[in-house]
Amino acid sequence: MAKLGIAIGLLAIIIWRVDWREVAALARQTHAGWLIAVLVVGTLDRAWMAAKWHYLVRGLGVSVRFAETAYTYYLGLLGGLAAQSQLGGDILRAVRLSRQSGQRRLVVASVVYEKLAGFATCGILATGSLALLNQRHHLVDWWLAGPLLFALAIFLGALPLVVFSNFGMRCLVWLIRSRPRLSERLGLDTEQAARRLLEARRPACVFVGLTMAEQFMPLFTNSLLQWTLGLDVGFIQTASVVPIIIFASRLPVSIDGLGVYEAMSVVLFGLMGLTVAQGFALALAGRLVGIASTLVGTGIFFALTRRSDSPAPVTSP
């Protein structure tokens, strides 16, 4: 209930302050060519997400086709949009791929680890953006900001790696033995599953690297969105705010970042010289492009899965 209140409150404040005539003017000057480009990049970004999850799932020993994994991933994205909850989408894809593969524990473990790695790498990039933002705008003295940002980066970087360390293994086994109900929900109710995670150390490290690289994609997407709306704050300026906006929207303070994403876009792009209407239009366009890219990818992989499932034609002798 508190999350809903925060989302509605932030959106109400922004909507009250937005000059809708300026938003309409931005919509009229939309460049169709850049809009197509941003849709392509957005679709490729989500396909990248699905591909790296497939790599992790296969690294854990789950036998499943890429088209099926990707289609399941896109269904999870759609489920998250419909429920306005990333958790709902994660549960949907974990359940579906578990049924497809018959390996529920490892599939659920892959979803948990994917979310952990995504949160950590997004936070690391946001920490770098905070340092860049502070360097350009001197928001906080460096004697305070420097140690805090360094400690935050170390903590976030250690999150996905500690799972596959000896210490992480001991903690995992302790969790399994002492919290049977919790471990059952996570799909790690046996020590065999925990050891399988440890054996998958190499693909897990590669997966973290792929996830870190994927975090840069929203920088290009946002730059294309700016050109689509006839705006351009510069790539360095964009890099100093977009990761912070995305990381803040992932924090569990609102419903799927609703209101937080828009408010952070208005405030931080305001430091770059954009008006409230321009910052809001950029955030709104980002959400719409995300929905459109998800729908396009879902259609593509739905067609691929149906084609691979169709029986081969029978030829007469």
Domain segments of the chain as ranges: 2-14+26-164+200-305
- Give the Cα separation of 104 and 95 in Å (integer): 8
Rg of the chain taking only CA atoms, in angstroms = 21
- Give the Cα separation of 249 and 255 in Å (integer): 9
CB 63 within 8 A of CB 106: no
Among candidate residues 43, 40, 20, 29, the one with its CA nearest the CA of residue 227: 29
pLDDT in tens, the chain (317 residues): 677 788 888 888 888 999 999 999 998 888 888 989 999 999 999 999 999 999 999 888 888 889 899 999 999 888 887 766 777 788 888 888 988 888 887 788 788 888 888 888 998 999 989 888 888 877 777 777 778 888 878 877 777 766 656 565 566 556 555 655 555 554 544 455 555 656 667 788 888 889 999 999 999 999 999 999 999 899 999 999 999 999 999 888 887 788 889 999 999 999 999 999 999 999 999 999 999 999 998 888 888 887 766 554 444 44
- Give the Cα separation of 241 and 237 in Å (integer): 7
What are the structure tokens assigned to 94, written together?
């974990």
- Give the Cα separation of 240 and 272 in Å (integer): 10
Among candidate residues 233, 220, 300, the one with its CA nearest the CA of residue 272: 233
Residues in CB range of 235: below 8 A, 6 or more apart: 219, 223
Among candidate residues 119, 120, 123, 128, the one with its CA nearest the CA of residue 240: 128
